[in-house]
């Protein structure tokens, strides 16, 4: 099951069995460390490209060392305010589709 974190406060709701996390805020090194401590079976973290640009390098290295895939996905909504905008779309309206590839795997 994919768990979505909208803020640092959502870190308290992580379970040891969570394997995939989507992040819609810029995590600090401490936040990434707390995710790794809370989720023993963590396999992948999904982030928006805008969040990836400002993510700390040390946090990315921690994920790499623990063999957690960092997936940069343009289809994710990057901020909670955009989540609210996306939720306000009418059912008959389709969200805008990007013309570029949506998912990029980051590995070293």
Task: Give residue-wise pLDDT tens across range 42-63.
Answer: 999 999 999 999 999 999 999 9
Which ranges in the chain belong to alpha helices (H)? 29-38, 49-54, 57-65, 80-87
Residues of the chain above pLDDT 90, percent: 61
Task: Please give the Cα distance from 60 to 44 (Å, whole number).
Answer: 12
Specify the higher pLDDT residue, 77 or 95.
77
pLDDT band at 74 (very low <50, low <70, confident <90, very high): confident
Instruction: Give the pTM.
Output: 0.69
Single out the residue of 12, 24, 20, 25 nearest to residue 45, CA to CA.
20
Q: What is the mean pLDDT of residues 102-107?
A: 56
């Amino acid at each position: 099951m994919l768990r979505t974190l909208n803020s640092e406060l959502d870190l308290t709701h992580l379970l040891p069995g969570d394997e995939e996390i989507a992040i819609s805020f810029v995590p600090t090194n401490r936040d990434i460390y707390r995710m790794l401590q809370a989720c023993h079976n963590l396999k992948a973290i999904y982030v928006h490209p805008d969040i990836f640009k400002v993510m700390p390098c040390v946090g990315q290295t921690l994920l790499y060392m623990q063999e957690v895939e960092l997936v940069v996905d343009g289809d994710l909504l990057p901020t909670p305010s955009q989540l609210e905008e996306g939720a306000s779309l009418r059912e008959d309206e389709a969200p805008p589709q990007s013309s570029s590839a949506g998912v990029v795997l980051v590995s070293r």
